[in-house]
Structure 1
């Protein structure tokens, strides 16, 4: 065990020092936990139930702010109710799915709330997706309808003929304040804003029919098959987040949480919003993150808390100092991915007192939250889990002579697994075959079942953990999970490329891993400047920006194992250092339109963080 790992282990004395801050929150946390654990199978619960409770308790409080718009809890609820009653009128029913592709704005929130009230599942489509991946994501969940924001309409128009949704069930919101100006929908789209005014604004009776096992969202995750998987997010899991994360952040009526995180991900849609709903506070929403406007918005909305991912924090640290970054009320933040190397500096620079770092996954059954406010940890979990010894060479947990796994000691690193119980079920994916790869049994005794997170974490003691690395065929970049197989499939369509292996590599002073592709060209092929520009154009057409490889390594021959797999561990280790990999390496520098050959001065500039990836 390294000295750093020893120093990070939490002692009994450390726990005592941090207890007073938790004790102040205990009544609020107890309320949340009671709502989570005392409910029965048939108890009305979930997202819509909690929101209607907030409306009843604080109807004239501001629920949402966006640009210059404001909505009280009663107003947002009434709008959502109109969406509920319309979809009831077309015979939508509990368990049906509607694909929703709208960027962060009030129409998105009203839509998912309105659908949740009638038990219809919102498939939260990643608004950066295009072409084959987008077609797959929508058709995968067999939706009865699509609700589209004008800002995303070109992506849908490009694939419309491939969607299994009839035109009369394809709905559209203008990219403007649609309650005041409905706009003009394109041909063969239903303008939902024009339809809604004739429908009732009272709560539908269906809200109270939602129970824990019912789905509320599909949230897409990258998978090893190369295409996104749709993870089921149930009302029970939402209530668990609401009862824990939602109450631990401890927001109240005069609090404002500012979030620029995409609400097609659970950190925004679930974690940030449930904390606001729990305290009947205000959610201040921005369409997309802007480093130059972040603290200006915080001041404009008078925010007291922010939602974050690690990449956002790094961007803010890269900003030159400004008066706005101090002249605000923000003292707490909730999210994930804040790196240890900037944790203390970030708190000190921006006046943050509480970092509610969390660990969770869209499909998993285990979660951590930094309720005790330690540094450099994903926090504490009361849920049943284990961190087991793991062999990186075989990519398997280590089992003893009896076939059982072994828990690691405090300070050691292992594979995080979550025990599957009645209170911590595994909701799974839409495709049952995908579930088999992430489940293991007979872990500590015959007949037990655990969910494999695919993440290596360090045990810090007192049920705390620290994230170390992600296993498998995904890596995280720009706050998004990138499927290596998905990227490989796209790169493989280039006419000059014969083989490709994609993996993530670390760049100093960035979060996650940047994409790198090792490629082998077809016989008698070479790449010229035009090819290197065309390659970028192809990737931009077919891949979200965060999935475009930053580095390209050209090999004469691709090394494979006896089972015809690429040894990515060695490729990751050699990364993009010309001295290590010996092959030509090309890089797509920020704001550039083609890959250029890695030179020593460019490499040194990357290592010294002269380029802001």
Structure 2
């Protein structure tokens, strides 16, 4: 198949594979298409079904632990009863601050059974950003893992709480049989949970498909993180669309997940797929390229969840005789670049790449149902690709105020129509939700969700991802908000002006953060590593700018807007002698002044970011 084209012949060649999987596809289509939001079909009922049907099969694998579906369901039930005893009811929310381990899934499942939504806090966040995220939800409780107590203690005093026991502690151990000791100011949740009944709760007003199950945090397009509510329906759609239609998951399958469970790709897509098959999810706290294939063999994994960066890291490992000594045949995720797609499949013997496109808050998704190369697949949702202003996420409008679609094969801004069937759940902040809606796009009264992403059609309704536009870029598998980083820089007291953007580094996925700044003219030489220490205290590592350009002035337009496109094009190149450019090099604890020789090494891929 041509790299940038999907033909009718390509689709025809995939039909025998589709026909073999027809029973799973038919079931998946049923669940994916469900519209009645009052159905008592939720994350909790999916887990109960698996406990009933494949109860003795493993549900969660972690290190040397294995929890069956029956055990997992009972664990979730005890958590539900405990939360109920603490006065929580349907419609309430708790925040979850745990690394990837079985306890996280058990808390989400237990809360879901009661109708309590879980706000999935980003474990990389700290300081002002973490505090802001929690305040968006105002949860009744925060469940904190022992591994993150230090980070949470840094903002604990500033939280507004009304519950008598708001801070719940889970020891970093197998809390099904070892509770540990809770620090002062925390309740030992596992110890309390162990005293409750493990039977399925019977509720007078049970949660329903349209109720909120989780809140996922996204940088969005501007400002600090936003909280996007995710209904139980999103789990049901992932269950049908990805678990059954794309992957045809079965009880014998094991999906290996190193992606953080506070992300929708891991929590909704990967776990939703596992739920569909009555399969097992094998967790690792953080991705390790060197340990990846040993883990795959240890867990006998047949599938794994990915982002594009993860695949590139695996390809960068030296080739070896063990590259195909594994049981892995399928993978699901997003961001696999066309430049490494075929190489990855061929080297590691992967049969199915279920590449997808979706966002936590969005109303549109694409799935590579036919297992084509270099595509996010197709969507049944109504969408258009429209012309946009370079360097922004703003669509072009004609003299009548309407948008114009791009020609086939031309990159365009992806927008999804908002209808009753394809609703936009948006954010907890109404203002942020409204900013993501494009109104009167093609006719008076219509409304469309602006994804902020550029894609192009490559044939038979299949799209290929091109770029992320505007005020957000992606680095290390995370979305980085330029405005969020700029706000943190403004609070440092070290800079007069700062503009943040993403720049490409050869041989890497996504874009690395870069800031061009004017330091405060206080008579002292600018200390770039004092700034680095401040950024480390207030930003997750992936959001700290990799490059810093220190200059005496930042050029603006006549209307005082930054010439961001021109600045971005310059990247980390060395310009005027009056400017200095620094880089945060791998395995270093601060910024290093760039030289022509170092720039050449970065450009040639000799520096492994």
Q: TM-score normalised by the shorter chain: which range applies?
A: over 0.9
Q: Secondary structure at the match of 1:380?
A: coil
Higher mean alpha-carbon deviation, 439-448 vs 99-108, is at: 439-448
Aligned match for 2:241, one of 233, 239, 244: 244
1:17 alignment partner, one of 13, 19, 40: 13
Shift of 1:19: 2.4
- 1:238-317 residue pairs with structure 2 within 5 A? 238-247=235-244, 248-317=246-315
Establish whether residue 543 from structure 1 lines up as the match of residue 539 from structure 2: yes
CA distance in structure 1 between the partners assigned to 2:404 and 2:148 by the alignment: 48
Distance 1:295 1:319 in 2: 11
Q: Give CA-to-partner distance per residue, 1:428-473, whole Å, 9 cap, x none.
A: 1101111111111222333222111111111123221111111221
1:230 aligns with 2:227: yes
Partner of 1:396, secondary structure, is coil
| CA displacement, residues 555-603 of structure 1 (integer Å, 9 cap, x when unaligned) | 1111223443322111111101115998321111101122121111111
Deviation of the 1:498 alpha carbon:
1.1
Counterpart among 22, 27, 32 of residue 31 in structure 1 = 27
Hey, what does 1:408 align to over in structure 2?
406
What secondary structure, in the 3-state scheme, does the structure 2 residue paired with 1:391 have?
A: coil
Q: Residue 70 of structure 2 aligns to a residue in which SS? A: helix
Matched residues in 1 for 2:489 and 2:392: separation? 28
Decide whether the 8 Å contact of 1:389 with 1:406 is kept in 2: yes
**Which residue in 2 is equivalent to 1:202?**
199
1:350 equivalent in structure 2: 348
Is the 8 Å Cα contact of residues 335 and 357 (structure 1) preserved in structure 2?
Answer: yes
- In the superposition, relative to structure 1, how do residues 582 and 300 fare at CA in structure 2: closer, same or farther (>3 Å)? farther
Q: Number of residues paired by the alignment?
A: 607
Deviates more, 1:408-417 or 1:474-483: 408-417
Measure how far apart 1:160 and its partner are: 1.1
Structure 1's unaligned 5+ residue stretches are: none
Larger mean Cα displacement after TM superposition, 32-41 or 546-555: 32-41
Task: Please say if residues 62 and 283 of structure 2, whose CA atoms lie closer than 8 Å, have aligned partners that are also in contact.
Answer: yes
Counterparts in 2 of 1:576-595, with a 5 A limit? Answer: 576-578=572-574, 583-595=579-591
8 Å contact kept, 1:497–1:519: yes
Say if 1:413 and 1:582 are closer, same or farther in 2 by CA, change over 3 A: farther
Cα distance in 2 for partners of 1:208, 1:263 equals 28
Question: Residues of 2 paired with 1:155 and 1:608: CA distance?
Answer: 38
For residues 435 and 566 of structure 1, the distance between their equivalents in structure 2, rounded to whole angstroms, comes to 26
Moved more, 194-203 or 561-570: 561-570
What does residue 184 of structure 2 align with?
Answer: 187
Counterpart of 1:77 in 2: which secondary structure?
helix
Q: Distance in 2 between matches of 1:482 and 1:241?
A: 25
* TM norm structure 2: 0.96
**Aligned-partner Cα distance in 2 for 1:167–1:549:** 40
Alignment deviations for residues 59-107 of structure 1 (CA, whole Å, 9 cap, x no partner): 1111110000001000011001000011111221111110100000011
- With 545-554 and 24-33 compared, the bigger mean Cα shift is at 24-33
SS at match of 2:566: helix
Q: What are the superposed Cα offsets for residues 279-336 of structure 1, whole Å, 9 maximum, x if unpaired? A: 1111111111111111000000000111101111111111122344321010110001
TM-score by length of 1: 0.95
Question: 1:48, 1:207 within 8 Å by CA — same for their partners in 2?
Answer: no
Shift of residue 402 of structure 1?
4.3
Shift of 1:21: 2.2
Q: Deviations over 1:214-253 (max 9, x none)?
A: 1000000003442100001111222222210121211111
CA 558–17 in structure 1, closer or farther in 2 if over 3 Å, else same: same
CA distance in 1 between counterparts of 2:577 and 2:93 reads 48
CA contact (8 A) 1:385 1:418 kept: yes
Change (3 A) 1:226 1:83: same
Distance of 2:111 and 2:392 partners within structure 1: 45
Please give the root-mean-square deviation of Cα atoms over the aligned residues, in Å.
1.9
Equivalent-residue separation in structure 1 for 2:392 and 2:126 (angstroms): 36
User: What is the deviation of 1:206?
Assistant: 3.9
- Choose the corresponding residue for 1:212, options 199, 209, 212: 209
Match of 2:165, SS state, is helix
Distance 1:246 1:564 in 2: 50
Q: Secondary structure at the match of 1:205?
A: coil
Trace 1:5-404 onto structure 2 (pairs within 5 A): 8-165=4-161, 166=163, 168-206=165-203, 209-247=206-244, 248-392=246-390, 396-404=394-402
Give matches, 1:546-565, under 5 Å: 546-565=542-561
Please list the CA deviations of residues 97-119 of structure 1 after superposition, one character each: whole Å capped at 9, or x if unmatched: 10100000011010000001111
Does the Cα contact within 8 Å between 2:391 and 2:565 map onto a contact in 1?
Answer: no
- SS of the aligned residue for 2:311 comes to helix
Q: How far apart, in 2, do the equivalents of 1:244 and 1:110 lie?
A: 23
Q: CA deviation at 1:208?
A: 8.1
